[in-house]
Chain A
Amino acid sequence: MEPIIKIKDIHKYFGHVEAIKGVSLDIMKGDVVVVIGPSGSGKSTLLRCINRLEEFDHGSIVVDGIPLDTAENINAVRTEVGMVFQQFNLFPHLSVLENVMLAQKIVRKRDHKEALKVAMELLNKVGIPEKAKAFPGQLSGGQQQRVAIARALAMNPKIMLFDEPTSALDPEMIQEVLDVMITLAREGMTMVVVSHEMGFARACANRAILMDAGQIVEEAPPDVLFSHPTHERTKAFLSKVLH
């Protein structure tokens, strides 16, 4: 079976600093991949390369058979790849409902009625249909992040990318977001998640990756990686994260 995401020898420079030093990774349909690593290890940058929010300087990425090269292809890939950000990035001038409907109408060319139907279904799915008319600024962080997930899902993506989705949240709001993500994983969504939520990783990820200094240090199923890491770097990192 062809991998749905094929990353081949990616290099990325910020000025003279090489943030990613030759990463290759194949992700299969239905994979739930959790990427961990210290800050500055290039894990977010790698994630952002997958939908080309970050340009890479060398190497290639093919998503669902579409190479990330021309502007047209990049937009095509982006409609198939949903992204959830650490800072939610909801559109503050639009209501929750409009946030979930906007790209459906503009990119997917759905009419108002259909977009509304999809939006309400998804707001039900993430558990906040009653906030449809509210504005992002009136919601808690956890609610905002759930709306952001609904907004991404409204495009019917084949892949979801999560860039530290719970890092900006109050501790008691983390679980409500993770619950939505666990549901998605169980439904078979292909997911790449940059997060240190070990609970989530153990519950539904089938692969865990440790990145450091722009490279993949180690990959294993989450239970194996967390309990029996082979590399010293992984052990050192985990000892800090797991207390």
Chain B
Amino acid sequence: MSINPLSSLPAPAVRPAGPAKVERFDRWWIMVAAVVILLVLLIFLKPDPYQNLFIFVRDGVWRTIYITVISFALVAVFGLIVALLRLSKHKLIRGIGTVYVEIIRGIPMLVQIIYWYFAFPAIVQELGRSFNIPAFVTFRPDGIVMAIFGLTFGYSAYMSEVYRAGIQSISKGQMEAARSLGMTYVDAMRYVILPQAVRVVLPPMGNELITLLKDTALVSAVSVADLTRRGREFSSAHFNPIETWTLVALLYLVMTLLATRLVAYLEKKARYER
């Protein structure tokens, strides 16, 4: 049988035929390597202040990674839930999702984070005093917890738009075919729509991951000792803004470049895995 050129289904990527193609070296790794080498050179050739600096901000790096990973995992889940709300055929449910997204998109991330850390606990305490609930009066949440909460709440709105676009890019016929076989909406989403949508949303999801990683710097405003805050502490103690912020910038750059490579790798995998 010949292959029909008029076949109207979008031809999905096909497993490479014959012997495995020689994977071309991903040249972007050179950039990652260059930044890492620059960092290492600075730390070893000029230990004062770079080595001291590095040792000082190291825990900030881990905290930044920690906040990014946890927030992103939560965002990946809640963003999908919000997207499904916005795709609901019930007006009220759709409305709830839309109002949430519109509100979040209209408020700067920094203000949101400050709000969750300073205003929200104050509201809870006020309520506690008004209604005599001791647990509320003493409510004083951990900075990292509220930072993760704020980032998740904010980024889920952005991520929901990524998911929504991805789901809507899958042709309506796919849902119809699944439903016509007696599958429920949830099963059709899970087995038919989402596995296809994932391939579409991976690149924009990667963008969100990198933006989120950079936006974790905002949590330094609410006394979370992330990389940015540790940098500021060091800089104001030793009066060396050039060295401090150069190192901090390079450390962020290494993290974002690695995240970009990770996403690129996942994209490639998603393309061939079939």
Contacts and interface: CB of A to CB of B under 8 A. Distances in A.
A14 to B, nearest CB: 15
Interface residues of B, number: 31
Interface in A40-69: 51, 53
Interface string B195-227: 110010000000000000000000000000000
Given A53-B180, A79-B182, A93-B12, A139 B191 contact: no
A136 B1 CA distance: 14
Contacts of A173: 4
Interface string A130-141: 000001111111
A175 B191 CA distance: 32
Contact of A93 (B4, B7, B171, B274): B274
Contacts of B178: 91, 103
Interface string B2-18: 11101111111010000
Contacts of B7: 137, 139-141, 144
A141 B6 contact: yes
A78 B14 contact: no
Given A135-B14, A142-B4, A168-B8, A53 B195 contact: no
Given A90-B9, A137-B14, A141-B8, A152 B174 contact: no
Contacts of B14: 135, 137-138
Given A91-B192, A93-B195, A53 B182 contact: no
Given A135-B14, A139-B7, A91 B174 contact: yes
A88 interface: yes
Contacts of A81: 180
> For chain A, which range describes its interface: under 10, 10 to 19, 20 to 34, or 35 or more residues?
35 or more
Given A136-B12, A137-B9, A89 B173 contact: yes
B77 interface: no
B46 interface: no
A88 B10 CA distance: 11
Contacts of B177: 83, 85, 89-91, 148
Contacts of B126: none
B240 interface: no
Contacts of B1: 139-140, 142-143
Nearest to A151: B181
A236 B71 CA distance: 66
Contact of A135 (B181, B199, B274): B274
B233 to A, nearest CB: 50
Nearest to B173: A89
Contacts of A138: 3, 14
A83 B4 contact: no
B59 interface: no
Contacts of A151: 181
Contacts of A88: 8-9
Contacts of B274: 93, 135
B184 interface: yes
A107 interface: yes
A206 B187 CA distance: 37
Interface in B2-42: 2-4, 6-12, 14
A92 B180 contact: no
A89 B181 contact: no
A136 B182 contact: no
Given A78-B182, A93-B195, A140 B176 contact: no
A155 interface: yes
A183 interface: no
Nearest to A138: B14
A170 interface: yes
B8 A87 contact: yes
B180 A51 contact: yes
A17 interface: no
Given A89-B173, A92-B196, A93-B196, A155 B4 contact: no
A75 B184 contact: yes
A129 to B, nearest CB: 13
A101 to B, nearest CB: 11
9 contacts: A82-B180, A91-B177, A92-B9, A92-B10, A92-B11, A93-B199, A135-B14, A144-B9, A168-B6
Given A83-B177, A103-B182, A106-B183, 10 more contacts: A53-B180, A76-B182, A78-B182, A89-B171, A93-B12, A136-B12, A137-B7, A137-B14, A140-B2, A155-B182
Smallest CB-CB A-B distances: 6 pairs: A79-B182, A140-B4, A103-B181, A89-B177, A137-B11, A89-B173
Interface of A: 51, 53, 75-76, 78-79, 81-83, 85, 87-93, 102-103, 106-107, 135-144, 148, 151-152, 155, 168-170, 173
